[in-house]
C-alpha cells in the first residue's frame, strides 16, 4: 500500500516523454520562470526563505538563507552550480530527476540564477552518470533552440547560459569546494572555509552550490507559493523529500514522501516490506556517512531532519539502506570502509593515512585475525581523523565505523573472540564502553566542525 504524499518533484516522472520540452510545457512547465521574471530577485529570495526549503544535498542548510549571503555589489560575476555529483553510497535520487524530468532541473536552475543575479550556471554531474548527462545535454540544447536559454529570455533582460560538466568519478567532488576546484581544472581537493563559496567561490567569484533536488523544488514553490510548501511536512522540515531506498526490501526505488512520515510505514508501505519475510535488522537512513540505526530504535521515528537526529542519526541525502537479519554487520562496515579508503582525496594526512588504516583494522577483524586491542586502536585512529581535516569527509568516514561497532558490538566481539580461540564472547560490555567513549568524542568533533 502506498500512502498519499504530495508529488512536487515526481508528479511527471512516469511519463516516458516528459524529457521533451513540448511535453514538459504541456504539463505546466516553464510557467514558474515566466512568473519569476516579473518579480525582483529579492522577492524570490524572500519567497524561498518563507517556504522553509532546506538543501537536499545532505546538510539541510536553509536555501534562501544561503542565497542571502551572496554579495551582489562586488562587480564580479555570480555563479550558480548545480551539484549532481551524487556519489554517496545508497543515494540515487537526483539521477531520477535528470533522466525523467530534465527540464524541471533546468527551470529550477533558471529560477535560482534569476534570484542570485547569475548569468552562467553549470551542472556538475558525476562521470558515471552517462545517460542522465546526455538527457540533460539534450534538454539544454532544446531550451537554447527555443530561446529559453541564452540572451534575453522571454523578451526580458535576463540572460543565462548553462553548461554540463562531467566529473571523472570522485566522491570528494560532491563536496562544494572540491567541486569548484575540479571545475577550475584542478585536482578535486576541498578548500579551507572560510571564505565560503557564497563570497569567494568559482574563480574567486561569489558562487552558490545547490543540490539538484533542491533546485528542482523551486518551480513548485514559485507556482504554488511559499506558504503552500511550508504547510507540507513538519514545522522545521518543510516539504517533501526524495528517498532512494535500497537493500533487503521488496521494492527498491526512489520515493517522494512528505517530511515527517513514519520511517517504519515507509519501509512497510512504499518499500513493500522486508524481502523474503525476514526480520528487519538495521537501517542507514541518510546515505553511508550517517549513523546506522538498529530495528529496535526505529519505533516512532519520522522521516524528517529533527526526528532522525533525535534517534541518533541524520537525514543526510536520503540514501535509505535497509538490512535484514541475515546481514553480517562486520562485513557491511568493511564494505563502507573500502569505499572511504578508496575515495579519500589524500590532501589531509589524518584522512589519507587513517582511512586506509581503519579499513585494514576492520578488514582483519572480518578476516578472523582481529585482536582485542583492535577496538581501542580503532578508537585512537578515528579520534585523530574526525575534526582534523579540511572537509567533513574525515567525519563522514569515522561516523559509520563507530556507529556499527556501537550498535552491534557483539558481532565484532564474536569475530575477535573466535580469532583468539574463545568460542563465546564475554567481554562485550568492556568492548562497548570503549566504543561508546569513541562515539561520544566523534559526536563532539562533528558538532565542532559543522
Ligand atoms: C564528501 C562530500 C560529498 C558530497 N557530495 C555531495 C553530492 O554528491 N551532492 C550534493 O548535492 N551535495 C554533496 N555534498 C554536500 C555539498 O558540499 C553541499 O553542501 C551541497 O551541494 C549544497 O547544496 P544544498 O544546500 O542544496 O544541499 C557533499 C559533501 C561532502 C563532504
- CATH code at position 348: 1.20.1440.230
80 lines ligand 1 (CB under 6 A): no
Q: Are residues 82 and 205 in the same domain?
A: yes
Give the dihedral sign, CA 209/212/213/217: positive
Q: Whose CA is nearest to atom 18 of ligand 1?
A: 176
Q: Are residues 260 and 175 in the same domain?
A: no
59 lines ligand 1 (CB under 6 A): yes
d(CA 174, ligand 1 centre) in Å: 5
DSSP summary character for residue 154? G
393 lines ligand 1 (CB under 6 A): yes
9 domain-assigned? no
d(CA 83, ligand 1 centre) in Å: 7
15 domain-assigned? no
- CATH code at position 39: 3.40.50.11540
Q: Whose CA is nearest to atom 29 of ligand 1?
A: 175
300 domain-assigned? yes
- Final residue before a domain boundary, out of 185, 207, 231: 231
Q: Are residues 138 and 174 in the same domain?
A: yes
Q: Are residues 81 and 137 in the same domain?
A: yes
285 lines ligand 1 (CB under 6 A): no
d(CA 271, ligand 1 centre) in Å: 25
Instruction: Please provide the DSSP assignment of 11-79 as one string.
Output: TTTT-TTTTSHHHHHHTTTTHHHHHHTTS-HHHHHHHHHHHT-B-TTTT--BHHHHHHT--S-SSS--E
10 domain-assigned? no
Q: Are residues 286 and 367 in the same domain?
A: no
CA–CA gap between residue 171 and residue 143 (Å, rounded): 30
298 lines ligand 1 (CB under 6 A): no
Q: Whose CA is nearest to atom 6 of ligand 1?
A: 174
377 domain-assigned? yes
90 lines ligand 1 (CB under 6 A): no
56 lines ligand 1 (CB under 6 A): yes
- Final residue before a domain boundary, out of 324, 344, 360: 324
Q: Are residues 25 and 120 in the same domain?
A: yes
Residue 300, Cβ neighbours under 10 Å: how many? 11
60 lines ligand 1 (CB under 6 A): no
Query: Which of 53, 67, 83 for mutating ligand 1's site (highest number of atoms within 8 Å of CB)?
Result: 83
pLDDT number for residue 231: 98
Segments forming the whole domain that contains residue 297: 240-324
8 domain-assigned? no
392 lines ligand 1 (CB under 6 A): yes
16 domain-assigned? no
Q: Are residues 97 and 71 in the same domain?
A: yes
pLDDT number for residue 448: 54
pLDDT number for residue 419: 80
pLDDT number for residue 418: 84
Kindly report the pTM of this predicted structure. Answer: 0.94
Question: Smallest Cα–Cα separation from 176: which of 192, 161, 163, 160?
Answer: 192
> pLDDT of the chain along its 450 residues, tens only?
556 899 999 999 999 999 999 999 999 999 999 999 999 999 999 999 999 999 999 999 999 999 999 998 899 999 999 999 999 999 999 999 999 999 999 999 999 999 999 999 999 999 999 999 999 999 999 999 999 999 999 999 999 999 999 999 999 999 999 999 999 999 999 999 999 999 999 999 999 999 999 999 999 999 999 999 999 999 999 999 999 999 999 999 999 999 999 999 999 999 999 999 999 999 999 999 999 999 999 999 999 999 999 999 999 999 999 999 999 999 999 999 999 999 999 999 999 999 999 999 999 999 999 998 999 999 899 999 999 999 999 999 999 999 999 999 999 999 998 887 765 444 455 555 655 565 566 555 554 544
391 lines ligand 1 (CB under 6 A): yes
d(CA 205, ligand 1 centre) in Å: 19
Q: Are residues 90 and 65 in the same domain?
A: yes
Nearest-atom number in ligand 1 for the CA of 393 is: 1
114 domain-assigned? yes
User: Which residue in this structure is represented by grid cell 515527517?
Assistant: 260
Q: Are residues 70 and 158 in the same domain?
A: yes
**Burial label, 16 (beta-carbon count in 10 A; 0-12, 13-18, 19+):** exposed
Nearest-atom number in ligand 1 for the CA of 212 is: 11
Number of domains in the chain: 3
User: Which residue in this structure is represented by grid cell 529550477?
Assistant: 108
CA–CA gap between residue 429 and residue 181 (Å, rounded): 46
- How high is the mean pLDDT of the chain? 94
Q: Are residues 124 and 60 in the same domain?
A: yes
69 lines ligand 1 (CB under 6 A): no
- CATH code at position 298: 3.10.20.600
Q: Are residues 310 and 377 in the same domain?
A: no
Query: Which of 129, 174, 348 for mutating ligand 1's site (highest number of atoms within 8 Å of CB)?
Result: 174
394 lines ligand 1 (CB under 6 A): no
87 lines ligand 1 (CB under 6 A): yes
- Final residue before a domain boundary, out of 256, 290, 324: 324
CA–CA gap between residue 335 and residue 397 (Å, rounded): 12
CA–CA gap between residue 4 and residue 168 (Å, rounded): 39
Q: Are residues 378 and 317 in the same domain?
A: no
d(CA 88, ligand 1 centre) in Å: 9
d(CA 183, ligand 1 centre) in Å: 15
Query: Which of 211, 237, 340 for mutating ligand 1's site (highest number of atoms within 8 Å of CB)?
Result: 211
Amino acid at each position: 500500500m502506498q500512502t498519499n504524499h504530495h508529488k512536487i518533484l515526481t508528479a511527471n516522472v512516469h511519463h516516458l516523454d516528459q524529457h521533451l520540452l513540448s511535453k514538459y510545457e504541456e504539463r505546466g512547465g516553464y510557467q514558474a520562470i515566466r512568473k519569476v521574471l516579473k518579480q525582483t530577485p529579492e522577492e524570490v529570495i524572500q519567497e524561498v526563505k518563507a517556504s522553509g526549503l532546506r538543501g537536499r544535498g545532505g546538510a539541510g542548510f536553509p536555501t534562501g538563507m544561503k542565497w542571502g549571503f551572496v554579495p551582489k555589489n562586488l562587480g564580479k560575476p555570480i555563479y550558480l552550480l548545480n551539484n549532481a555529483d551524487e556519489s554517496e553510497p545508497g543515494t540515487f535520487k537526483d539521477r531520477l530527476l535528470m533522466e525523467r524530468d530534465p527540464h524541471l532541473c533546468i527551470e529550477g536552475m533558471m529560477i535560482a540564477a534569476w534570484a542570485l543575479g547569475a548569468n552562467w550556471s553549470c551542472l556538475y554531474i558525476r562521470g558515471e552518470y552517462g545517460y542522465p548527462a546526455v538527457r540533460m545535454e539534450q534538454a539544454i540544447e532544446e531550451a537554447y533552440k527555443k530561446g529559453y536559454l541564452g540572451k534575453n529570455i522571454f523578451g526580458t533582460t535576463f540572460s543565462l547560459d548553462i553548461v554540463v560538466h562531467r566529473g571523472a568519478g570522485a566522491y570528494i567532488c560532491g563536496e562544494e569546494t572540491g567541486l569548484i576546484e575540479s571545475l577550475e581544472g584542478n585536482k578535486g581537493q576541498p578548500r579551507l572555509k572560510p571564505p565560503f563559496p557564497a563570497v569567494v567561490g568559482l574563480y574567486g567569484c561569489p558562487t552558490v552550490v545547490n543540490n539538484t533536488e533542491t533546485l528542482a523544488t523551486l518551480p513548485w514553490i514559485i507556482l504554488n507559493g511559499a506558504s503552500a510548501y511550508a504547510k507540507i511536512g513538519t514545522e522545521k522540515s518543510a516539504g517533501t523529500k526524495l528517498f532512494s531506498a535500497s537493500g533487503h526490501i521488496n521494492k527498491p526505488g526512489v520515493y517522494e514522501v512528505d517530511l515527517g512520515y513514519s520511517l517504519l510505514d515507509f519501509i512497510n508501505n512504499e518499500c513493500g516490506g522486508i524481502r523474503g519475510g525476514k526480520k528487519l535488522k538495521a537501517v542507514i537512513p541518510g546515505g553511508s556517512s550517517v549513523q546506522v540505526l538498529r530495528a529496535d530504535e526505529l519505533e516512532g521515528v519520522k522521516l524528517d531532519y529533527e526526528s532522525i537526529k533525535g534517534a541518533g542519526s541524520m537525514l543526510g541525502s536520503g540514501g535509505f539502506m535497509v538490512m535484514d537479519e541475515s546481514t553480517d554487520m562486520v562485513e557491511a562496515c568493511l564494505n563502507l570502509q573500502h569505499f572511504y579508503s578508496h575515495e579519500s582525496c589524500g590532501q589531509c594526512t589524518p584522512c589519507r593515512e587513517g582511512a586506509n588504516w581503519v579499513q585494514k583494522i576492520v578488514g582483519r577483524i572480518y578476516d578472523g585475525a582481529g585482536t582485542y586491542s583492535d577496538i581501542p586502536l580503532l578508537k585512537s585512529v578515528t579520534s585523530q581523523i574526525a575534526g582534523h581535516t579540511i572537509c567533513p569527509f574525515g567525519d563522514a568516514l569515522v561516523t559509520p565505523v563507530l556507529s556499527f561497532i556501537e550498535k552491534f558490538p557483539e558481532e565484532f566481539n564474536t569475530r575477535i573472540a573466535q580469532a583468539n580461540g574463545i568460542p563465546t564472547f564475554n567481554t562485550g560490555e568492556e568492548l562497548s564502553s570503549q566504543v561508546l567513549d569513541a562515539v561520544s568524542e566523534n559526536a563532539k568533533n562533528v558538532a565542532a566542525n559543522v
